[in-house]
Amino acid sequence: MYFIKKALLVITGLFLTAFGTKLLTISHLTFGGTAGISTLLTFSTGISWGVWFFVINLPFFILSVKRLGMLFSVYTLLCISLISIINGFLKIAPTNGVHPIFIAVASGLIIGSGVVLVLNNGASLGGIHILAVYMDQHLSINRGKTLFITDFLIVLSASLMVGIVNALYSIITISIASFLAGKFKPQQGAKSDENDIPVEASL
C-alpha cells in the first residue's frame, strides 16, 4: 500500500506538471530548465514538446545514473517518459482573452505543486531537477534556489524568442514554482549504504 500511495502521488504530480507546461505553451509563455528549452524548440520547429523533453533529458539521465544511483535514475526516466506522453495527449482550450499574468500565476502554482509531489515521493522530472536534487542532498544547497537561478537565466535567454514581456511573465511562473519546490520538502531520511542517496530519493 505504501508503494502504491507514493506511485499515485508521483503520477498526480506528473499530470499537474504536464498540465502546467501545456498551459504555458498554448499561451506563448515558457518555463526554465529542460521544460523551457523544450517549449522554445517546439515554437521554432513544430516538433512536439514531449519529444524534445525526452531527448534533452537523456544526458541528464546519464548524470543521474552516475551521481544519484540506478534506482532513482530508473524512476526518473519513467517520469520523463510519462510526462512526455501525458503532455502530448493533453488538450487544453485556447487561453485567448485571459491576461498572461493569470496564466503565469496559475501555471506556477500547478507546476510547483506537481514538482513537489514528484520530488518528495522519490523521483525527479529530469534535467535541472536532477542537478537540484544532487546539490540539495550532497552540498546542502536548497533545491528551490538552484531551480530559480538556473531557470531565471534560461528564460532571460529565451526573451528573444517569446518577447521580453512574456519572458517577464514567465519569471513569475518560475518564482512561484521554485518557491514551492524549495518550501515543501520531506524530512531528511537515512542514507542508503549502496548509493549514498537518502531514502526520500527512492520509491
Res. 41: pLDDT tops 90: no
Percentage of residues in the chain with pLDDT exceeding 70?
Answer: 90
Summary mean pLDDT of the chain: 80
Res. 191: pLDDT tops 50: no
DSSP class of residue 200 equals G
Res. 9: pLDDT tops 70: yes
Query: Which pLDDT does position 105 carry in this prediction?
Result: 95
Average pLDDT for 70-85 = 85
pLDDT tens digits along 108-120:
999 999 989 988 8
Res. 12: pLDDT tops 90: yes
User: And the C-alpha cell for 62?
Assistant: 546519464
**Secondary-structure percent of the chain, ordered helix, strand, coil, rounded to 5:** 75, 0, 25
Query: Which pLDDT does position 198 carry in this prediction?
Result: 35
How far apart are alpha carbons 37 and 53 in whole angstroms? 8
Please check whether residue 92 is in contact with residue 19, taking contact to mean a CB–CB distance below 8 angstroms.
Answer: yes
Please check whether residue 181 is in contact with residue 115, taking contact to mean a CB–CB distance below 8 angstroms.
Answer: yes
pTM for the whole structure: 0.77
Query: Which pLDDT does position 74 carry in this prediction?
Result: 83
pLDDT tens digits along 143-170:
778 877 877 777 777 787 778 888 888 8
* Confidence at 186, pLDDT banded by 50, 70, 90: low
The per-residue b/e assignment along 154-183, b for 16 or more CB within 10 angstroms, e otherwise, is: bbeebbeebeeebbbbbbbbbbbbbebbbe
Average pLDDT for 91-97 = 79
Query: Which pLDDT does position 77 carry in this prediction?
Result: 86
Res. 89: pLDDT tops 80: yes
